[in-house]
Structure 1
């Protein structure tokens, strides 16, 4: 079965080689690769041309002006001849068994297949994304992991080019509203490099995402870490609790004095709360040394007592981890949302029931 993979690019010389290599080196080989370039003026096309012979006629390159990223994606979809179509952007890349895992889970049905994704910064994992299609009204799952049958595009249409950032979300909600089936693959499929359009234009992304939710009649609220509406967060918080119990840690500190910590403290059971010795903050105000009933300490103070430190932040976990990982030899530093390796993420995904 032929699988079509599309990459759209514009002046992408910095990262596109890694993207191309991840397609070229796939374990599954019946792949048609389509690169839609928006008339790059840097070295992008020279890099692409270098790889053309290695694809043995399976690589098609189109370089012409477009009206935006979704216009370019639509051009690629129209050219695709594979039964399944995946789209990987020019600063992201696939795991080498990605297409093989997708094909092994495909049963010739009208079904969107998607899987786990890791966000990366400087090639290090910052966050795990294993969002459920069941919660599309709350947030979009990792689009670089999605593979869609060509028949679905023929039946339900392409991306709405009036959107600049969230047309993929709009498309998936369109399918969801029309009762198209979704299937989760419990493996890391793709790596998402932070710093692209959706991460650098955060405010525009939020506004367009809310507009898409309103269009489809969903409650226009931003992404939530509420465990009642986000099963990924609930799963990871439950995993945290089980990890603490399994390791019998008794001198726990929580790093973070924000709303995330307030919600986490309300969620964790009393037997875990009894083991929390304090809350870590970067700077402790002498007039306000208590948070939610726990004493506040600096990291320098807490490290002398802690056997484990939980990083309590959704947005800044990776930055905090880098700030305190020099303590790794003496303290267990617990990341809720991230991991160190893809293998570790795959182990987590194996326990996730979608």
Structure 2
């Protein structure tokens, strides 16, 4: 039995109904739980996380409304020494009147800033008088609109279509109750159907891209055992709607710390041991971290099957609307090990942690 993920399936035709369940492959339970003691040495060991590291890393979700990256850099310097290829800076929480000055400050940053996420309200509809910094969708660093989604209205669809047609990519933080309501998933899909008709009609493809946050991993209840989660209706809905959302070819998913009501567990420092190297990470991990990785891998699986390695983007800051705390270095280790333990090869890791962000958050790609 192999722990590797199956190849990403070919996307179904656009004539497929976007609502309702979709048949899709699933990962075996063994990908998330250790084997029983009776399997002995015949059960293959999972890949050693220490052997898979991204060549370079672009952190695509660094929230710093003051434009100061010193705190983020202090967290990741040791974990990513020599690998930092840049960051995508979110100005969430900054005053609109200060954004022009902040953009000038960012331009002089020693850390390469590939893009800046500026606050944008979809609920207000098409902006009547866009601010000056929205006059050029290809400026450097790239300007990306940062919005939240709470409900689907005509104004929201019009604003998203306006942004994409004008060359702006849009980061959308999904703040609806997807966990308990099938209709909330459908509202998100209906929004895309109205804002991106090119996928179902003979319409020009928009210049911009959509990046969804707070979906991978989605908000979750840590008290629900993983074995029960596998057959729970919320998890089945997650699988189905990930597949439906992936039909929109310019939609990406951002992999950030989840809103699970608990801080991201740290990676304990290594200790001298005579234990074989292949078990070192299992020994170092706390029970909490092991539980988090098993749950994270459950959510990575369906997302990979739907979007593939080419449309998932790594970021270290949690959703600004959550109360979860996360250290950037702790999340990097947790995220990297989770992908490695799913059998991800070097090419896939490099895409998730670097290449996809470089593609989406660069003026050359707009």
- Please report the TM-score for the alignment, with normalisation by the length of structure 1: 0.25
- Which of structures 1 and 2 has the larger relative contact order (alpha carbons within 8 angstroms, sep 6+)? 2
Instruction: Compare the two structures and name the one with the higher strand fraction.
Output: 1
